[in-house]
A and B are shown apart, each in its own frame.
Chain A
């Protein structure tokens, strides 16, 4: 999936988190980004390097480089 083409307000799903950085992987999961969680892309930064997403009723920023590895578009 090319996330930069995902339109705003598109709902995505969290797939299995396979990141090289174990620390980030654990932190993402502990924030509630576990497999199967629905996540809504609310905003993209100017250079599309950071996304504003909503999951579990809360709003977080997440780097695009990470997001593209953990999210799948299912809309």
Chain B
């Protein structure tokens, strides 16, 4: 009898351990290079992938060689993995000194938990720095009237890219209206080419379609109301019409076959466009640089076309409105030591968006968020695209930040999950609106 008890206990132990192992295994990704404790040094987490990683490493190297007492240790992570890792690290008090992010709802949760420092006073002391950046870039860095992050890098609107070669072959023009889109879908399907490339497994890629469509149909006010958490704001008829249009496009085979198994992290969606398997792609302007680098001279030979998102007949939105990332952001962890914070602030002031960094971004096909770069853009070999992005960002009456960044993490996760189901047609537009409406205020 004694034996059977022992064996039962060992099985209890096994049973108790196993599910728990999942919880700890999922959480154990948090350990990493924590806050460095040595004085005068700051730590920073940044995204891997080119050209960003090299640009940042060069900027850090230049800064540390000019300021030998201020060391900055950078660790690079993949985009999708970073988004989870940084949240967990902050919750565990293991955040790096410099917290990289996209502002908006996520920054708001950090600010409300006093995890990041208020930089308003520091910007007031350094007016030159504040005036260096596009004024619009501060919107997503501001929580309750206070600035919690330094805008940096580049403005990244969502752009409709197309393959000029395929359009010539089809004798077609890039779409100006939603009706054009639907007729182009037929044209390209008849040609045996997929109309649109989409990395649907990443979900935020599909979200870009909704962001533009909702803006064109209902105007910027619809999402503003959602962002402000107004009751029943997701139940706006424009949301349901947006969902209906998306499902019509999916049903008409508008997206490449198998789009929901393509992940954007692998850049397969871009490859479909530049290898001529798909005619068009709605994506962030950062893909221009990536396609220039990896696209087998597709960009260099002038085969990549780009236009603003088409209008929708009867829609209320201004066709000049843009969506995307107004900038990327860096905050300072409130848990860092004073010496680390000083180093970080010095780096913010002297190390980021230096002339060299600005030139590197422009050369890689991005528009840095600094004022007075028109001359540089005009002399660049990518001036057509750079000016297009610059004008889009500058002239947009409303530049909507990406929804998954603007909303709280809880609402954003529900949004991405429901968008995935909407594209799979496993929920109706009505159900989509209802599901999302339930997340308001969360």
Q: Do A and B come from one complex?
A: no
Give A contacts to B, CB under 8 Å: none
Give B contacts to A, CB under 8 Å: none
